[in-house]
Structure 1
Amino acid sequence: MENSEYGFIPYGKQYVDECDKKAVLEVLESDYLTTGPKVQEFEEALANRLGFKYVVVVSNGTTALHLASRVLLNVGDRAVTTPNSFLSTSNSILYVGAKPIFVDIENNGLINLDLVEEKLKKNKKIKAVYLVTFSGHPLDDEKVKYLKDKYGVKILYDNAHYFGKDGGVCDIATYSFHPVKHITTFEGGAVATNNEKIYKKLLRLRNHGIVKDSSMYPWEYKMVDLGYNYRLSDVACAMGLIQLEKVDMFLSKRRQIAKYYHDNLPEKIKPLYPYNEKSSYHLFVVRYPFKSFDEKAEFFIKMRQKGIGLQYHYIPINQQPFYVKKGYFKKFPQMEKYYLEAFSLPIYYSLSVKEQDYVIDCMEELL
């Protein structure tokens, strides 16, 4: 790796300041490290910020998806989803004995809702549609609501990449607070809903399926469902609360970075979609007409040698060895083209304009 004046520039990283450290230290010195007051405080703050009535925080984004699937799906059900996501989106469907049905994407990386409707017309076993707000790009809520109302399916928004008011259309939305996301709780996630019945079941499932019952004895509790230990600690929630206070600042900077890339990219490198001020820009994805994966790999290696950590999001889920063995392999034309062309540029709060210029100059030199 060449030594640049900027050191190594990763595709993403967290921003932690003295306020975050102070908040964590205060909890460490308190009586509660877990299942204490900070958990409910963080949940209420998230519900208010995200536009949902109820939020349940959990140990990570994957456990959020798992709990959501426990609520939305039964064994043998089908759920339509995208191949352009991290594995946990479709894995969560398999966790509960249901089966994912993959459909192709659009040029902007999002699932093709017209193809989703084609599947809904043909298969009555489809009970849910799992939609991913890929890169932070908001979905077409009107089209989603149309599908929900016409076909009676449950709607899940996997919002690991998106952070904004989103409480009107979906039955459940899930979030991730991994360090590269908009806010971080070290690891962490959340499930959001407007349905009180779903909310109460999520609370049980997060904590071993247990409900408290002191009607007979003060110590009594009852396990009424097969749940899990998916709790998030007070330490993590204290961090989340402070990060949440800064989220508008974080989002504003991400959009600023995205706009600068958008306006200054080399000619042959195209943004995944035109600049959108409503996008949360967890990722800034671009496309270039590579002739082969070998050429793309060589470019990634050369950029890393210059101290720039590009990333790719995502390898088509249905091409992963586990899914191929299960019979899910299928060629999707748009996904295949996207897989060859796309890559993600560095984007995070502390990224400077000079670092962006360096990234852009290196791409122009190598491509």
Structure 2
Amino acid sequence: MTEPILPYGRQTIEDDDIAAVAEALRADFLTTGPRVESFERAFAETVGAPHAVACANGTAALHLAMLALGVGPGDVCIAPSITFLATANCARFVGAEVVFADVDPDTGLMTPATLAEALGRAGGRAVRAVLPVHLRGEVAELPALKALAEAAGAVLVEDAPHALGSTMRFGVQETVGDCRHSAMATFSFHPVKTIATGEGGMVTTRDALLAERLRTLRSHGMVRPTSADPWWYEMPELGFNYRLPDVLCALGLSQLGKLPRFAERRRSLTARYLERLEPLAPMVRPAARSAWSDPVLHLMVALIDFEAAGRSRRQVVEALRSRGIGSQVHYIPVHRQPYYAQRYGPLTLPGAEAWYARCLSLPLYPGMDDADVDRAVDALAEALGA
């Protein structure tokens, strides 16, 4: 019998998730109803932030964060080059410019050193926001990044779609999304993320005024003055339709209740990968861990010396696919993208290039069992001729 294909990531949808969605479909509100606030409250409690604002997707979360901060033309945002396009694009959506920071070649994370170098390249322009990405679920060094950002007059906005459930210890135990070091943190509930709503996003913050601005801006910028007629609304500024419907919040609530189980399974699978990949060193090494981080990994990234293996990454990807193993590359450095290369010219970021040259994401999701990890690693060893 042919073994099932193992994709690099996949949602885990169970009968109670389906029942929660069906109940929402039978309810009075498909959108802008009580399940939105219930999901927001449960999420805020889960990550330890006072406020959480649901929105249409992770990109919308980043865009809303920039709008809420008042970032605009003439401002600069700093983003790591190893990330998804949206981290940089959110600055351009509001007319700001992007300065790309390099990353540690073994973790893929923005570091204090690479942020300091990027701040130097900002050339005296007003840096309004620094956007560290918790790549793979591994946590960036937030206190040091915050100190550098504040010295430059900027705030941190954590791009955290990979890191729901991840914790860290900077003197005390903390949770990604509690915003002790940042103005806001953004999340995504795309199907391959730790919990899924199909599409969906969240912004967390400790600032009540920011939370109120996020809620206004996600709904066309409309406000309803309390002293006005009950039908009256006003739009003092432009906003967007970035609302997350009740039916998707119902799925999010159901999934959020499973976060401890999903996190435990991801950590267990990660431990299995680390054990099974060890004999393939030094040709293959798992992406490095940070001393302060206890991640719930979203991505199981192997750093592979393709030259030593005598095989190109494409050859390895195709060999894995022929064995039913999906893989992916996270990510092509964003500064290489034609839009940014044309706007800002050539840029040399050796850490990002070294990361990109070696990275390959292997299957990781809660529906896998230990035998699936063994199968993936065995297929990788065969593909590399190891």
TM class, shorter-length: over 0.9
Q: Distance in 2 between matches of 1:346 and 1:46?
A: 26
Residue 250 of structure 1: aligned partner: 262
Residue-by-residue CA offset, 1:24-56 (whole Å, 9 max, x unaligned) = 011111111000000000001111111111111
Q: Distance in 2 between matches of 1:71 and 1:344?
A: 34
Residue 62 of structure 1: aligned partner: 59
Structure 1 residues 33-48: aligned runs within 5 Å: 33-48=30-45
Amino acid at match of 1:87: L
Q: Does the residue aligned with 2:302 lie in a helix, a strand or coil?
A: strand
Q: CA deviation at 1:294?
A: 7.3
Q: CA deviation at 1:214?
A: 5.3
Does residue 161 of the first structure (1) align with residue 162 of the second (2)?
yes
Checking the alignment, whether the CA contact within 8 Å between 2:111 and 2:141 is kept in structure 1 is: no
Residue 202 of structure 1: aligned partner: 214
Checking the alignment, whether the CA contact within 8 Å between 2:138 and 2:290 is kept in structure 1 is: no
Residue 290 of structure 1: aligned partner: 306
Residue 280 of structure 1: aligned partner: 296
Residue 340 of structure 1: aligned partner: 357
Deviates more, 1:211-220 or 1:243-252: 211-220
Residue-by-residue CA offset, 1:98-121 (whole Å, 9 max, x unaligned) = 011012110211013212123435
Q: Does the residue aligned with 2:132 lie in a helix, a strand or coil?
A: strand
Amino acid at match of 1:92: C
Q: CA RMSD in A?
A: 1.7
Amino acid at match of 2:100: F
Q: Does the residue aligned with 1:123 lie in a helix, a strand or coil?
A: coil
Residue 96 of structure 1: aligned partner: 94
Q: Does the residue aligned with 1:211 lie in a helix, a strand or coil?
A: coil
Does residue 51 of the first structure (1) align with residue 63 of the second (2)?
no
Checking the alignment, whether the CA contact within 8 Å between 1:129 and 1:156 is kept in structure 2 is: yes
With structure 1 as the length reference, what TM-score do the two structures score? 0.95
Q: Distance in 1 between matches of 2:27 and 2:188?
A: 26
Residue-by-residue CA offset, 1:171-202 (whole Å, 9 max, x unaligned) = 01100000000101110001111111111111
Q: 1:53 to 1:60 in 2, by over 3 A?
A: same
Q: Distance in 2 between matches of 1:328 and 1:309?
A: 34
Residue 81 of structure 2: aligned partner: 83
Q: CA deviation at 1:362?
A: 1.1
Does residue 173 of the first structure (1) align with residue 172 of the second (2)?
no
Q: Distance in 1 between matches of 2:102 and 2:78?
A: 11
Q: Distance in 2 between matches of 1:184 and 1:271?
A: 26
Does residue 312 of the first structure (1) align with residue 333 of the second (2)?
no
With structure 2 as the length reference, what TM-score do the two structures score? 0.91
Q: CA deviation at 1:331?
A: 2.1
Q: Distance in 1 between matches of 2:311 and 2:56?
A: 38
Q: Which runs of 5+ in 2 are unaligned?
A: 166-174
Checking the alignment, whether the CA contact within 8 Å between 1:204 and 1:225 is kept in structure 2 is: no
Q: 1:301 aligns with which of 312, 318, 325?
A: 318
Residue 231 of structure 2: aligned partner: 219
Structure 1 residues 234-273: aligned runs within 5 Å: 234-265=246-277, 266-267=280-281, 268-273=283-288
Q: Does the residue aligned with 2:113 lie in a helix, a strand or coil?
A: helix
Deviates more, 1:108-117 or 1:214-223: 214-223
Checking the alignment, whether the CA contact within 8 Å between 2:39 and 2:252 is kept in structure 1 is: yes
Q: Does the residue aligned with 1:102 lie in a helix, a strand or coil?
A: strand
Q: Distance in 2 between matches of 1:30 and 1:241?
A: 15
Identical pairs, percent? 36
Q: Distance in 2 between matches of 1:304 and 1:328?
A: 36
Amino acid at match of 1:221: Y
Checking the alignment, whether the CA contact within 8 Å between 2:75 and 2:125 is kept in structure 1 is: no
Deviates more, 1:273-282 or 1:224-233: 273-282
Q: CA deviation at 1:290?
A: 1.4
Amino acid at match of 1:118: E
Does residue 23 of the first structure (1) align with residue 32 of the second (2)?
no
Q: Which consecutive segments of 4 or more residues in structure 1 shift more than 4 A?
A: 274-277
Checking the alignment, whether the CA contact within 8 Å between 1:269 and 1:288 is kept in structure 2 is: yes
Residue-by-residue CA offset, 1:186-232 (whole Å, 9 max, x unaligned) = 10001111111111111110000001135232210111110010000
